[in-house]
Amino acid sequence: MAAYPAEFNPRKVLDDPAFKIIDTVPQRDPSINLACAYNQHKQIHLVQKPKPSAGPGQVVVHIRATGICGSDCHFWKHGRIGDTMVVRDECGAGHESAGQVIEVGEGVTKVKTGDKVAIEAGLPCGTCDFCKIGRYNACETVVFFSTPPYHGTLTRYHLHPADWVHKIPDSVSFEEGSLLEPLAVALAGIDRSGLRLGDPLFIAGAGPIGLVTLLAAHAAGATPIVITDLSEFRLEFAKKLVPSVHTVLIDRSSTPTEVAQKVKETAGLPKGLHCAIDCTGVESSVQAAIFSLRFGSTVFVIGVGKDYQNLPFMHCSANEIDVKFQYRYANQYPKAIRLVEGGLVNLKPLVTHRFTLENAVEAFETAVDISRGAVKCQILDEE
């Protein structure tokens, strides 16, 4: 397990003679391991990678669906997230994937050829302190596909340890399988937020993470739920997903206190709601969340944003408001699969745009262009 960084050394791909950048939109050729990569020059393009073969304990997955994440777009456009995740070379995008096992390596019994699987994209070492207590999202030597330098899962053929694929039932589609990743993010957040049955909840942000959090929080029995966003389109989308949600449109001139007041009024709770989940990472939004809650509540921050942010310290102090954070997820996939299979969370409506693998670049352009109204763009490869 500690061998993952060596096993998935990106140089194995980049230095392979079969690796090349493709500047045009090719015809589909299943023999080619097509992928989509960003680089240190903030470019995004198709690349051809060597087709992997399964070693001991590994499987090769024909990736059938991959969702685009905001972090993929951020790596493309900005070349980094913080100081530790920096694009220095061609790096394959994508970490929200599901597909079909086409080859199993020696000793693999967990899955067999033909099985439908969802990919858990973070491979922890299994030996560090955090791995040993089950908080493997904290593993410092994790291989997280699509976080530079490890090539992502937005590819035709992907090599993965059998331990970290999750079988999905036939009733769950490949698209849903790929959406299990953002669902895992939301589930991890809800797990640690302390959200309870019947809790009035404020969700800040109706982007893909806010929306998947809305679906999960609704399934967890939060009520009433108030969701805010700058975009009327996104709020309407939220309402379609969960008709009972209360939406509040905000604009950049609203102060955090004003937003908090509107949220409390909408919920009919002048003393404040009982939990807030921020899915924006924006300072004013986190502040609004703090002001919207009653004594003893928690603001749970899933969103990521500026390195340094101001918080109303004394308000938090005098009201025992906790602010908690999240980094990726651990131990969420089996639960996510159960919830989707059981119909408690319906992820299908989140997909607004679909592209073939050959058109992956257009998918990314759609994802970053607000005017195209994308929520979740999926890249699909046929059988």
Partner 1 sequence: MPSLVTAPSLTQEQLTNGNGIKPSAKLVSPQLSQKLKLGGVLAQSGSHFKRGKKPNTALWVTKDHNIYLEEVPYPECHPDTCIVHVRATGICGSEIHFWKTGRIGDCCVSHDLILGHESGGEILEVGANVKDFAVGDRVSIEPGVACFECKQCISGRYNLCPDVAFSGTPPTHGTMARYIAHPARFLHKIPTKMSFAQAALVEPLSVGAGAVSRANVKLGQPVLVCGAGPIGLAAALCARAAGAHPVCITDLDENRLAQAREFGFEKTVKVDLNWTRHDFAKEIRNVMGKDCHPEIAFECTGAQSSIVGSIYALVDGGVLLQVGCGKPDVELPMMAMSFREVSIITSFRYKQTWPVMIRMIADNFLGDASKFITHTFKLEDSVKAFETCVTPAERSIKVQIVDEDD
Q: Which residues form the interface with partner 1 (CB under 8 A)?
A: 187, 190-191, 196-198, 216, 219-221, 223, 244, 334-336, 338-339, 342, 344
For residues 122-143, b (16+ Cβ closer than 10 Å) or e, as one string? Answer: bbbbeebebbeeeebbbbeebb
CB closer to partner 1 out of 334 and 349: 334
Nearest-approach distance from CB 57 to partner 1, in angstroms: 20
The angle formed by the CA atoms of residues 100, 39 and 355, to the nearest 5 degrees, is 40
29: which residues sit within 8 A by CB, 6+ positions away? none
Nearest-approach distance from CB 237 to partner 1, in angstroms: 22
| Token pair belonging to 263 | 């949220």
Single-letter amino acid code for the residue at 216: A
Largest CA distance in the chain: 65
CB closer to partner 1 out of 175 and 191: 191
CB closer to partner 1 out of 28 and 196: 196
Nearest-approach distance from CB 266 to partner 1, in angstroms: 15
Dist. CA 293–CA 38, nearest whole Å: 41
CB closer to partner 1 out of 215 and 227: 215
Q: Could you tell me what percentage of the chain is helix, strand and coil, using 3-state DSSP and rounding each to the nearest 5? A: 30, 25, 40
To the nearest 10°, the Cα dihedral for 137, 133, 163, 13? 40
Dist. CA 102–CA 63, nearest whole Å: 10
Instruction: Give me the residue label for tokens 């080859």.
Output: 103
Nearest-approach distance from CB 183 to partner 1, in angstroms: 10
Nearest-approach distance from CB 104 to partner 1, in angstroms: 20
Nearest-approach distance from CB 307 to partner 1, in angstroms: 31
261: which residues sit within 8 A by CB, 6+ positions away? 291
Q: Cis link prior to 224 (omega < 30° from 0)?
A: yes
Burial of 194 (0-12, 13-18, 19+ CB in 10 A): middle
CB closer to partner 1 out of 63 and 273: 273
Q: Are 40 and 79 in contact (CB under 8 A)?
A: yes
CB closer to partner 1 out of 104 and 190: 190
CB closer to partner 1 out of 197 and 314: 197
For residues 46-85, b (16+ Cβ closer than 10 Å) or e, as one string? Answer: bbbbeebebeebbbbbbbbbbbbbbbbbbbbeebebeeee
Q: Are 318 and 291 in contact (CB under 8 A)?
A: no
Nearest-approach distance from CB 337 to partner 1, in angstroms: 9
Nearest-approach distance from CB 219 to partner 1, in angstroms: 5
Nearest-approach distance from CB 300 to partner 1, in angstroms: 14
CB closer to partner 1 out of 56 and 342: 342
CB closer to partner 1 out of 19 and 164: 164
Ramachandran class of 115: left when φ > 0, alpha when ψ lies in -120 to 50, beta otherwise: beta
Nearest-approach distance from CB 350 to partner 1, in angstroms: 18
Dist. CA 362–CA 275, nearest whole Å: 38
CB closer to partner 1 out of 224 and 312: 224
